[in-house]
Amino acid sequence: MGHFWQDESDNWWLKIFGKGRKIRDITVPQDFLPYLERYRTYRNLSFLPTSNEQSPLIEKLRGQGSMSSRHLSRLIQEVFEKVYIRMKSSVGQKKLRN
């Protein structure tokens, strides 16, 4: 999680690959920090990341290291499909399309 960094004004940023595979810095909203702290606590890490940290943001369930973008995309797609099915069964097909 060494891609998180804090500027001199105490704003948090995350370094990511953007469009065209160019490195970009995106702001991390202050409202997000409690969720990041909770996630890091669950993983037995310090509350907030340091610039020299080597822990992946999303780690594999088995093995070591980070996930591939393909694996992460598949997991996200599965979550959205499950949410859609659950929403469809609770509110109905017609309401989802409006």
DSSP characters for 50-97? -TT----SSB-SSSSSBPPHHHHHHHHHHHHHHHHHHHHHHH-HHHHH
The whole-number pLDDT of residue 33 equals 92
The model's pLDDT over 55-90, given as tens digits with 9 standing for 90+, comes to 878 777 676 666 777 887 888 898 888 888 888 888
Locate the domains of the chain by residue range: 1-60, 68-98
Position 8 confidence tier, pLDDT thresholds 50, 70, 90 = very high
Mean pLDDT of the chain: 83
